[in-house]
């Protein structure tokens, strides 16, 4: 069983690539076969964090069809169980990923012969990023302790939840219109929340209402707080849980907190993952804790999603 594990964040520079690389090493050290895929299209730099040379074909070549399969992109690393899929640093300009290519890519990533396929995603809430994030109902959200990082993480989760619910119903359905209208209403600072969505769908059908409730309940992103400086910071980190619970009806799980350590920045300059460079550090210890929790609960069931109208749009583009 291959577990695809997306790593996302609302804001850039919060440590997605650092977490992805070090988690990949920790999971491999724990005996798992791991693929690290650089999906930060337009900003690929995971090879740097891993200390690999930027010379292999990557996802950019797959998108342009210069490479036939995702599996053909696998690159070995210094760890026998850790493999790497480069991004689009060598062949950029592919941030616009056609819908059918993306669907096929998601399928192929899930079929790689590995225990974990970690997706190091780009920052922000573009639909491509969100669709990769939704491949696992328990995807990882990286967030730091700055208020803007927390608010951006909240916005990301809200956009992801709306898209998840929207794509839970077929194109042109009445349910989609209701969900879209709901998405345009303001929740923050009001009594309203995603709990109000199911009753509105009840008017269409009890099944639709029940389905929405089920999908919200099954959506359980897991948060890794990064760059913690003191225990008092955790209070701020908990804010993401409170606003997500109040407005989105989501129960977030926190599966790790990583300390701010200056040496981590140095590991990027030295191009060697911190878990290998300083295995005795607090940072490395906490990464291994996250790995241990993921092995115990990989959340392998992706939600079933209909395409947006992108399938139709893509087909119309094929018509020229």
Ligand X SMILES: Nc1ncnc2c1ncn2[C@@H]1O[C@H](COP(=O)(O)OP(=O)(O)O)[C@@H](O)[C@H]1O
Residue ranges that bind ligand X, judged by CB under 6 A: 9, 12-18, 123, 226-227, 258, 260-261, 264-265, 268, 283
How many Å apart are CA 222 and CA 86, to the nearest integer? 25
Provide CB contacts within 8 A for 214, sequence distance 6+.
Answer: none
Q: List the single partner that 268 binds among ligand X, Mg ion, none, CB under 5 to 8 Å by kind.
A: ligand X
Instruction: For residue 320, count other CB atoms closer than 10 A to its CB.
Output: 4
Least distance to Mg ion, CB of residue 280, Å: 26
Q: How far is the CB of 265 from ligand X (least distance, A)?
A: 3
Q: Give 198 or 290: the residue with its C-beta nearer to Mg ion.
A: 290
Which CB atom, from 17 or from 149, has the smaller least distance to Mg ion?
17
Closest distance to Mg ion from the beta carbon of 121 (Å)? 8
SS (HEC) of 151-186: HHHHHHHHHHHHHHHHCCCCCCCHHHHHHHHHHCCC
Q: Which does 199 bind (CB under 5 to 8 A by kind): Mg ion, ligand X, none?
A: none
Judge contact between 79 and 28, C-beta under 8 A.
Answer: yes
Kind of pairing between the strands at 82-85 and 75-76: antiparallel
* Buried b / exposed e along 260-273 (16+ C-beta atoms within 10 A): bbeebeebbeeebb
73 DSSP assignment: G
* Partner that binds at residue 13, options ligand X, Mg ion, none, CB closer than 5 to 8 Å by kind: ligand X
**Least distance from C-beta 118 to Mg ion, angstroms?**
12
Closest to ligand X by CB, 22 vs 215, is 22
> Strand order of the sheet with strand 253-259?
75-76, 82-85, 34-39, 116-121, 3-8, 140-143, 222-228, 253-259
Work out how close the CB of 272 gets to ligand X at its nearest, in angstroms, rounded to a whole number. 13
Q: How far is the CB of 40 from Mg ion (least distance, A)?
A: 5
Q: Among ligand X, Mg ion, none, what binds residue 206 when CB lies within 5 to 8 Å by partner kind?
A: none
Rg (CA), the chain: 20
Report the C-alpha gap between 149 and 13 in whole angstroms: 10
CA dihedral sign, ordered 38, 284, 32, 56? positive
Is the Cβ of residue 119 or residue 198 nearer to Mg ion in the bound state? 119
The contacts of residue 192 (CB under 8 Å, 6+ apart) are: 185, 186
Residue among 49 and 164 whose Cβ is closer to ligand X: 49
Q: How far is CA 60 from CA 57, 90, 262, in A?
A: 8, 7, 33
Decide which of Mg ion, ligand X, none touches 12; Cβ closer than 5 to 8 Å per partner kind: ligand X
> Which is closer to ligand X, CB of 43 or CB of 302?
43
Provide, rounded to whole angstroms, the least separation between the CB of residue 126 and Mg ion: 14
User: Residue 94: which of Mg ion, ligand X, none does it interact with, CB under 5 to 8 A by kind?
Assistant: none
Query: Which of residues 9 and 168 has its CB atom nearest to ligand X in the complex?
Result: 9
Residue closer to ligand X, measured from CB, 110 or 256: 256
Residues of this chain that interact with Mg ion (CB under 5 A) are 16-17, 40
Q: Among Mg ion, ligand X, none, what binds residue 18 when CB lies within 5 to 8 Å by partner kind?
A: ligand X
Q: Cβ of residue 45: shortest distance to Mg ion, in angstroms?
A: 6
H or E segment and range at residue 239 = helix 233-243
264 binds, among ligand X, Mg ion, none (CB under 5 to 8 A by kind): ligand X
């Amino acid at each position: 069983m291959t577990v695809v594990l997306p790593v996302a964040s609302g804001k850039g520079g919060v440590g997605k690539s650092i977490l992805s690389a070090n988690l990949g090493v920790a999971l491999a050290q724990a005996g798992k076969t791991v693929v690290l895929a650089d999906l930060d299209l337009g900003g690929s730099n995971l090879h740097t964090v891993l200390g690999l040379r930027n010379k292999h074909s990557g996802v950019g070549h797959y998108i342009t069809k210069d490479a036939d399969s995702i599996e053909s992109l696998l690159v070995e690393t210094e760890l026998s169980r850790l493999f790497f899929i480069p991004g689009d640093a060598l062949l950029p300009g592919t941030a616009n990923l056609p819908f059918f290519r993306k669907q096929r890519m998601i399928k192929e990533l899930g079929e790689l012969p590995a225990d974990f396929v970690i997706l190091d995603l780009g920052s922000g809430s573009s639909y491509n990023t969100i669709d990769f994030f939704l491949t696992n109902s328990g995807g990882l959200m990286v967030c730091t302790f700055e208020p803007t990082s927390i608010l951006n993480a909240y916005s990301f989760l809200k956009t992801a939840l709306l898209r998840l619910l929207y794509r839970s119903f077929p194109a042109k359905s009445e349910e989609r219109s209701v969900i879209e209208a709901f998405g345009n209403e303001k929740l923050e600072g009001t009594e309203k929340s995603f709990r109000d969505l199911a009753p509105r769908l009840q008017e269409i059908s009890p099944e639709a209402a029940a389905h929405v409730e089920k999908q919200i309940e099954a959506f359980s992103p897991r948060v890794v707080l990064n760059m913690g400086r003191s225990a008092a910071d955790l209070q701020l980190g908990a804010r993401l849980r409170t606003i997500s619970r109040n407005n989105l009806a989501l129960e977030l799980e926190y599966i790790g907190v990583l300390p701010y350590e200056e040496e981590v920045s140095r590991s990027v300059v030295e191009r060697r993952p911190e878990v290998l460079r300083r295995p005795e550090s607090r940072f490395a210890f906490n990464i291994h804790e996250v790995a241990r929790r993921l092995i115990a609960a990989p959340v392998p069931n992706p939600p079933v999603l209909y395409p947006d109208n992108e399938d139709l749009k893509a087909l119309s583009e094929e018509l020229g």
